[in-house]
């Protein structure tokens, strides 16, 4: 369980770094929540408590943040594309 918490924390940090470079605020906040939940899970595991809820929360926040980042990039590319000249 501790290894899972560390893995999710690293994934959340990666999401935070990617969002920081691309200035994606909503996905960044999901990444921060994912890291916080992973740290909470790690603390719970070291205190011999069940950390399943924190791990699921961290995974969900990281996945939602990743989806938001990807959707934001797709929308930005569509907005940056030059419009086609009509017939």
pTM of structure: 0.80
Res 86: pLDDT: 60
How many structural domains are present in the chain?
A: 1
Range of the domain at 26: 2-79
Q: Of 35, 2, 32, 38, which is closest to residue 19 (Cα–Cα)? A: 32
Residue 23 lies in a domain: yes
Residue 85 lies in a domain: no
Residue 27 lies in a domain: yes
Res 48: pLDDT: 82
Res 81: pLDDT: 82
Per residue of the chain (87 residues), give pLDDT as tens.
888 888 888 998 888 998 888 888 888 898 899 888 898 888 888 888 888 888 898 999 999 999 999 998 898 888 888 777 666
């Amino acid at each position: 369980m501790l290894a899972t918490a560390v893995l999710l924390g690293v994934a959340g940090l990666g999401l935070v770094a990617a969002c920081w470079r691309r200035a994606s605020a909503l996905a960044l906040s999901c990444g921060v929540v994912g890291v916080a939940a992973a740290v909470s899970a790690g603390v719970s595991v070291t205190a011999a408590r069940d950390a399943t809820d924190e791990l699921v929360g961290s995974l969900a926040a990281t996945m939602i943040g990743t989806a938001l980042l990807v959707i934001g990039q797709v929308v930005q590319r569509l907005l940056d594309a030059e419009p086609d000249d009509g017939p």
